Amino acid sequence: MLSERFTLRAAVYLILLKNNKILLSRRYNTGWMDGKYSLIAGHLDGNESVSSSMIREAWEEAGIRISKDNLKPATVIHRYSTNQEYMDFFFVTEKWSGKPTIKELDKCDDMSWFSLNKLPKNLLPYIFNAIKNYQHKIPFSESGWK
């Protein structure tokens, strides 16, 4: 008898940098961590690479175009959250085209640049950890495990 294999969720996140500032978006009306800042992010839709997913999410959420050559791996976090496991892939870039704009008005109510040295207090904790991982060149970490 074949048993169903374990599956986990995969998500992508963009550390978008400009003049030592990072672009953050505030969650709104999602039902999870509303009012907290995060990065441009999203889940893989299936049948797409993590870099293709990141390029798609950057366009869907912020209206910006990024080439695959300009996406650099920043860190990976294996995260346990609310009875689910995630592999979170964080990318970094300073090169894109278009002006970052809120494209999903039903999920985001603010998109602003913050100094990397003065991040907002209402930043999702694992996003804070990912930014610190990037700054300290930590390629991989785990979060939420006992």
pLDDT digits (tens, 9 = 90+) for 93-108: 999 999 999 999 999 9
Q: What share of the chain is helix, strand, coil (3-state, %, to 5)?
A: 20, 40, 40
Q: What mean pLDDT, rounded, does the chain reach?
A: 96
Residue boundaries of the structural domains of the chain: 9-143
Band the pLDDT of 3: cuts 50, 70, 90. confident
What was the pLDDT predicted at 1? 59
Compute the Cα dihedral for 57, 124, 101, 139 and give only its sign: negative
Residue with the bigger pLDDT between 43 and 82: it is 43
Which CATH class name applies to 9-143? alpha beta
Give the mean model confidence (pLDDT) for residues 50-72: 99
Instruction: Give the C-alpha separation, 50 to 104, whole Å.
Output: 21
Which candidate, 122, 62, 120, 71, places its Cα nearest to that of 92? Answer: 71
- For tokens 């991982």, the residue is 133
